[in-house]
Amino acid sequence: MATVKLWSDAEADADARVSAVFADIRATRGSDVVNNFWRGLANDPALLERTWSALKTVMGPGTLDPLTKELVYIAVSIANGCPYCIHSHTAAARAKGLTEGQHGEFLAVVGMANQTNALVNGMQIPIDAAFRVEEGP
Amino acid sequence: MATVKLWSDAEADADARVSAVFADIRATRGSDVVNNFWRGLANDPALLERTWSALKTVMGPGTLDPLTKELVYIAVSIANGCPYCIHSHTAAARAKGLTEGQHGEFLAVVGMANQTNALVNGMQIPIDAAFRVEEGP
Amino acid sequence: MATVKLWSDAEADADARVSAVFADIRATRGSDVVNNFWRGLANDPALLERTWSALKTVMGPGTLDPLTKELVYIAVSIANGCPYCIHSHTAAARAKGLTEGQHGEFLAVVGMANQTNALVNGMQIPIDAAFRVEEGP
Amino acid sequence: MATVKLWSDAEADADARVSAVFADIRATRGSDVVNNFWRGLANDPALLERTWSALKTVMGPGTLDPLTKELVYIAVSIANGCPYCIHSHTAAARAKGLTEGQHGEFLAVVGMANQTNALVNGMQIPIDAAFRVEEGP
Amino acid sequence: MATVKLWSDAEADADARVSAVFADIRATRGSDVVNNFWRGLANDPALLERTWSALKTVMGPGTLDPLTKELVYIAVSIANGCPYCIHSHTAAARAKGLTEGQHGEFLAVVGMANQTNALVNGMQIPIDAAFRVEEGP
Amino acid sequence: MATVKLWSDAEADADARVSAVFADIRATRGSDVVNNFWRGLANDPALLERTWSALKTVMGPGTLDPLTKELVYIAVSIANGCPYCIHSHTAAARAKGLTEGQHGEFLAVVGMANQTNALVNGMQIPIDAAFRVEEGP
């Protein structure tokens, strides 16, 4: 189904750079699973390293809580139409505590945003002066 | 600039349905500003009523905090390329407490999601069995 | 396959709000089929109610004929890449009289619009004064 | 603002292929206006000829009425976020008889489609057997 | 799975316009395979003819090399989320010499572009005067 | 116009991390210009550093030529509707030798891809077995 080879553990073990990233994924997540996304990226070890390093940093501890970050990730993935990403990050959000009630409420916000995006674009609404706040206080 | 007329307050005052919605927007937000989006929707009072009613419900109190909802809204608007929506909801997020640090972190998540969406789609990665959790416990 | 549970009829029957919406869907369409979209939305009865109510109103009788509305719906679904939506609304359009000839012509318009959208965006064409008609008569 | 030169009438007159297309645009539309899109495409006369020829055929007489075709065109342009295309085809739709009431109803359908596209994608709803009608009678 | 019938060779043979296009596809590509896209378009012979004619011209010899054209095609298909198009044009690119190393590098560019598109849209960056080069020398 | 502050040179000079990135941008490009994108990212020095580092690597020397990379970048930006990105990378492509003839040919490919993406999605064409090459030799 994929347009690239998905690396097996045996293939990854035979490549120092790939096996190092796979080991870090397992250690960071406390799980033996390395999901297919990383097995596809293994075809380009430099891209694999950069992507994992950036993802680990961006989704790691910061000023936004981890569940909020997952919801933002899913929202983008829905708008872009990426089924794999929607499945993987919905599973991640549930692992981080997303309840059914919150999921429904989240979907309602995503649906609302897509609806009003279309209405705004369709009417080509000019930006209100009040929203031009970037000049700051 | 718009493809529809943006209703002035005087025009809104002359239409019972439109003026009722504008009054509720002002009362709900505790502000005299009715932004251009609603002034464009006023051309179709039924659409104005439905959209405001749904938005008020969806963005109102629930199990997700208000700032998280705004971030999800902006994330969708960025992916869809709606400048007005990005401006208006970034302003709303700041009014609800979004700090510069959180904004940078949010943008990093949105950027990361768009990047990995493209990598996943480009490789056409098949969904891992582990993510097929919908059958539930 | 879904990220949420799809409610069976038995499960729907046990929830007053969900069963009321399912009954109205069946009555409105004159068919016993409740398609999967509604069975997924049932996880959030308030979202189910709002979405069905809005859809029934928007797609119901008005100043645009029902087939035109379905074609607009499919056009959006193609641009957004929603396979389920394309399948369900193409089936609905056929049920409302869409012929093979009209379907081919519709696809040609959708393809043409996507092509010229890209050409316009690629060249960043400025909007002609003649199209700025919003100031009205 | 554009990334390409917009050809003036004088420049077009000096190129046999470009001036022939501009003349046909004017004759077909019964108007002296050649809008900016064609003035940008003039940089590649072959692309200009192919695009105009295809557009004239696709948007010309057929089994779908001209206004329906314009609405489908705008719907795609909204979903793709092409401001120029939204402006030009909304103006064209009005010239073909679109009323304010129809415009509001059209926007409501576009908004609804975008909302349900997002809800369907977010839930990853599997396609009902009933929609798999392509095998036909 | 499709929303239209996919024409068999026998059905194509019975239609003069469709069989002429299928024959030209086979001759141009030096292969007996006519892929499903053309079998779907066959339902509208005029659309089939126009699309094949335009594709043959656009993807044929010119000032850009054939592999570059395929990469541009895949990039658009990834951004639009078209699995069929990604599969078919990745196969075509490989047939035209795309190596694994180039594929990884290409995916990295596509991922980077999607990421920075989102960052730019999220920050609503104004266009630098230096990029407004269209006035030309 | 932006949703964030665009850092002046004076502001950048006062921050060690930002000034180091700005200096590297200038040295790498052999130009004193630091375009607005980086001035917006400066609000989050870590995001600025990561993005510049990744972009420098991805767009730097490799197995694809620099102009091909720029064309892929523009193609994605057109499909995503990012005016800033289209302007900046079209300027970059011209600086790397893109001719008017190549630009027209490139736009034709992008337009064709968007058109066939829509036709494929509209017909929901199933992937040919011949394109499922990922198992490889």
What integer pLDDT is reported at residue E131 of this predicted model? 86
Question: Please, are residues F118 and C79 in contact by the beta-carbon 8 Å criterion?
Answer: yes
Q: Where does the pLDDT of residue C136 fall: very low under 50, low under 70, confident under 90, or very high at 90 and above? A: very low
- C-alpha D110/C-alpha C70 separation (Å) is 10
Express the helix, strand and coil content of chain F in percent, nearest 5 each. 70, 0, 30
Nearest to F2 among A2, A4, A134 (CB): A134
Segment D27-85, tens digit of pLDDT:
999 999 999 999 999 999 999 999 999 999 999 999 999 999 999 999 999 999 999 99
On the CB side of D131, CA atoms within 13 Å amount to 23
- C-alpha E67/C-alpha B68 separation (Å) is 44
- Is the CB of residue A137 less than 8 Å away from at least one CB of chain B? no
Nearest to E108 among F3, F58, F75 (CB): F58
Same fold, B1-59 and B62-124: yes
Nearest CA in chain B to F1: B87
Q: Where does the pLDDT of residue A130 fall: very low under 50, low under 70, confident under 90, or very high at 90 and above? A: confident
Q: Is the pLDDT reported for residue E135 higher than 60?
A: no
Using the 8-state DSSP alphabet, how is residue D43 labeled? T
CATH code for the domain defined by C62-124: 1.20.1290.10
Mean pLDDT of E80-89: 97
Looking at the complex, report in whole angstroms how far the Cα of residue C16 sits from the nearest Cα belonging to chain D: 22
Q: Which residues of B touch C134 (CB under 8 A)?
A: 1-5
Kindly report the number of other CB atoms within 10 A of residue E68's CB atom: 22
A interface test, pick of D78, D85, D102 with most A CB neighbours within 10 Å = D78
Distances in whole angstroms, Cα of residue C106 to Cα of each of B32, C110, D59, E83, F79: 45, 6, 10, 22, 21
Cα dihedral F10, F11, F16, F21 sign: negative
At how many degrees (to 10) do helices D45-59 and D66-80 cross? 130
Question: Please, are residues C120 and D85 in contact by the beta-carbon 8 Å criterion?
Answer: yes
Q: Domain E1-59 is of which CATH architecture?
A: Up-down Bundle (1.20)
What residues of chain A, 18 to 47, have a C-beta less than 8 Å from chain E?
Answer: 43-44, 46-47
Q: Is the pLDDT reported for residue F131 higher than 90?
A: no
What integer pLDDT is reported at residue A133 of this predicted model? 58
Domain extents for chain A? 1-59, 62-124
Closest C-alpha to E11, from E32, E36, E42, E34: E42
DSSP E strands, chain D? none
Distances in whole angstroms, Cα of residue C85 to Cα of each of C37, C99, D5: 9, 19, 40
Closest C-alpha to B41, from A5, C110, A119: A119
Q: Tell me, what amino acid is at A105? A: E
CB contact under 8 A, C122 and F111: yes
Tokens 């993802």 found at: A55
- Is the CB of residue A117 less than 8 Å away from at least one CB of chain D? yes
How far is C-alpha F32 from the chain's CA centre? Answer: 20
What integer pLDDT is reported at residue E133 of this predicted model? 59
Nearest CA in chain D to C129: D35
CB contact under 8 A, C43 and A86: no
Segment A47-61, tens digit of pLDDT:
999 999 999 999 999
Q: Supply the ipTM of this predicted assembly.
A: 0.95
Q: Is the pLDDT reported for residue D23 higher than 50?
A: yes
Express the helix, strand and coil content of chain B in percent, nearest 5 each. 70, 0, 30
Q: Where does the pLDDT of residue C133 fall: very low under 50, low under 70, confident under 90, or very high at 90 and above? A: low
- Is the CB of residue A76 less than 8 Å away from at least one CB of chain C? no
CB contact under 8 A, C112 and D59: yes
Using the 8-state DSSP alphabet, how is residue A44 labeled? S
Q: Is the pLDDT reported for residue D136 higher than 50?
A: no
Nearest CA in chain F to D44: F104
Q: Is the pLDDT reported for residue F135 higher than 80?
A: no
CA angle A21, B105, A76 (to 5 degrees): 80
